[in-house]
Amino acid sequence: MLNRDSIRDGIVFKMLQENQHLNNIAPRTAEERAASLNATLAQAPAGTLDGDVWVFGYGSLVWNPAFEFAEKRRGRIYGYHRAYCIWTHMGRGTPDNPGLMLALDRGGSCCGAAFRIARDKLEEELSILWAREMAMNSYVPAWVTVHTDTGPANGLTFTIDRRHERYVGCLPPDIAASHLATAEGYLGTSAEYLENTVAHLEELGIRDANLLDLHRRVTALQRKRPVDA
């Protein structure tokens, strides 16, 4: 599992570089990531960077944020929904049996985890976050309004780039489940990713109907798989 130290030490870039032949896409350099981060911060709503900054997580960030934060809350954003809409050929799958990763796609709303990063740690922690989430060009960072029990706040999140070659849109549930049940890459299985997301969302009191349906389908498919002799 990825952690703060390994990400800071460049493990994501190294893994992507070593396995570039699987994606045919070069990972972003440290300079490119820094430019992306600076451009995103320059677009922050007025006053946002005067204090602590929120990050909205909807998938693996919910159960493995891998950055230091001062507070974690349940939050909801509008204008995007959580979806398995991008293939993974490395982390949770292979070119022959690609897995699926979650992203935020247009429309609807999404409940997830809101993390507050202290202002004095913002530069280092966002650099770590960028090394993980923006190592490739599949995501677009976005400023959103995160609604929490104590009120709204401006926050950062990562939305899907629909122009990306691995974007698949809305797959039929049976097709998505078949990949999630069987795909595995160097970070583990797609099924494990789904199970962790469902479990940790439920810890926040969030029951995502689409994820729960996929989880039931994946569990049923795995039970039908033959046991190796």
pLDDT given at position 4: 87
This prediction has a pTM of 0.92
Distance CA 74, CA 208 (A): 13
pLDDT given at position 229: 34
From 123, 124, 125, 133, the catalytic residue: 133
> Would you list the DSSP string of the chain?
---HHHHHTTHHHHHHHHTHHHHT-PPPPHHHHHHHHHHHHHTSPTTGGGS-EEEEE-SHHHH---S--SEEEEEEEEEEEEEEEEEESSSS--SSS-EEEEEEEEEEEEEEEEEEEPGGGHHHHHHHHHHHHTSSSSEEEEEEEEEETTEEEEEEEEEE-TTSTTB--S--HHHHHHHHHH-EETTEEHHHHHHHHHHHHHHTT---HHHHHHHHHHHHHHHHSPPP-
What pLDDT, in 10s, does the model give residues 27-83? 788 899 999 999 999 999 999 999 999 999 999 999 999 999 999 999 999 999 999
**Which residue is it, tokens 């989880």?**
215
> Tens-of-pLDDT digits for all 229 residues of the chain?
788 888 888 777 677 766 666 666 677 888 999 999 999 999 999 999 999 999 999 999 999 999 999 999 999 999 999 999 999 998 899 999 999 999 999 999 999 999 999 999 999 999 999 999 998 889 999 999 999 999 999 999 999 999 999 999 999 999 999 999 999 998 999 999 999 999 999 999 999 999 999 999 999 999 987 655 3
pLDDT given at position 112: 99
Handedness of CA 176, 177, 183, 185 (dihedral sign): positive
Distance CA 180, CA 214 (A): 8
Distance CA 140, CA 107 (A): 15
Catalytic residue at 133? yes
Distance CA 12, CA 43 (A): 26
pLDDT given at position 22: 61
CATH number of the structural domain 4-224? 3.10.490.10
Distance CA 206, CA 111 (A): 7
